[in-house]
Amino acid sequence: MATGQAGMNVARNALDLASGRPPAPAFDSRKDIPLKRSRSVALVMMGASAIALSACDEPQIDAALFDGVQQCIDNKDFSADVCESNFVAAREQHAQVAPKYRSQADCEADFGGQQCETAPYRTESGSSVFMPLMMGYMMGSMLGGRGGVASQPLYRSADDPKSFRTADNKNVGGRTGLTKVARSATARPSAKGFTVSRGGFGARARGFSAGG
């Protein structure tokens, strides 16, 4: 699996594009009337002004990682109930959010030998669909009370088996128990479908512009 994208810190990149100065005041001081134009504009992805910051610049937040319920209970930072309920919540997402493969070999190429299982789906021709085994889960630290990080399943890729990865391929490190992870890694993982067909849009474009 490829390394996840570096995080973006919008506020630190949001320079005044005209001059690099801090944004101009919202009001025209001579007339004391609001301007009809934006006070400042910024780009974070387009052009040379877009500077991707490394992941370490992204805010880190408290979370807990475990390879299973028993490890969570043995850790003693959480009650057995909390360990269990967070595991169940992650487990329920697993089949929805795990990446899907047409063959066991393709899945094992990414996740390692014996590290894949059949998904509760069938291909259009009725054969099995494969997905990686759930290897752990991430949950909130409870340091700020309930809420915060929602639990989600974790995986280990063949090329970096010491680290956990989310279903959206965000590396959250290999340290179990209480830890810190990049905020972007705690986003709810996207559902992964088993794509049965592609290319059903775009035929009408045929090289002329769709906009106007």
Partner 1 sequence: MQRIPVAERADWRETAREHGFDFHSIDNDRYWDESAYYRFTLRQVEEDLEDPTEELENLCFDVVERAVADQEVLSRLGIPTAYWDYVAQSWHNKDRNLYGRLDFSYGGTAPAKLLEYNADTPTTLYESSIFQWVWLEQAMERGLVPAGADQFNSLHERLLEALPQLGIDGALHVACAKDSQEDRGTVEYIADCARQAGLTSQLLYMDDIGVDQDGRFTDLEDRVITSLFKLYPWEWILQEEFSQHVPASGVQIIEPAWKMILSNKGLMALLWEMFEGHPNLLPCYFEGDPRASALGDDYVRKPLLSREGSNIRVVQGGQVSFENDGPYGAEGHVLQALHPLARFDGNHAMVGSWLVASQPAGMCVREDHSLVTTDDARFIPHIILD
Q: Can you give the binding site for partner 1, defined by CB under 8 A?
A: 8, 10, 14, 16-19, 24, 28, 30, 35-39, 41-50, 99-100, 121-124, 129, 168, 184, 187-188, 190-205, 207-212
Answer positive or negative: Cα dihedral of 160, 165, 167, 168. negative
Q: What does the alpha-carbon distance between residue 187 and residue 41 come to, in Å, rounded to a whole number? A: 27
Judged by beta carbon, residue 10 or residue 56, the one nearer partner 1 is 10
CB of 112 to partner 1, least distance (A): 20
CB of 207 to partner 1, least distance (A): 5
Q: CB–CB of 161/112 below 8 Å?
A: yes
Q: What does the alpha-carbon distance between residue 87 and residue 103 come to, in Å, rounded to a whole number? A: 28
Judged by beta carbon, residue 37 or residue 76, the one nearer partner 1 is 37
Q: What does the alpha-carbon distance between residue 163 and residue 166 come to, in Å, rounded to a whole number? A: 10
Judged by beta carbon, residue 99 or residue 136, the one nearer partner 1 is 99
Judged by beta carbon, residue 41 or residue 80, the one nearer partner 1 is 41
Closest CA to 139 of 148, 126, 131: 148
CB of 117 to partner 1, least distance (A): 17
Q: CB–CB of 53/6 below 8 Å?
A: yes
Position 92, amino acid: E
CB of 158 to partner 1, least distance (A): 18
CB of 140 to partner 1, least distance (A): 19
Burial of residue 202, with CB atoms counted within 10 A of its CB: 0-12 exposed, 13-18 middle, 19 or more buried: exposed
Q: What does the alpha-carbon distance between residue 133 and residue 161 come to, in Å, rounded to a whole number? A: 13
Judged by beta carbon, residue 56 or residue 203, the one nearer partner 1 is 203
CB of 146 to partner 1, least distance (A): 21
Judged by beta carbon, residue 104 or residue 194, the one nearer partner 1 is 194
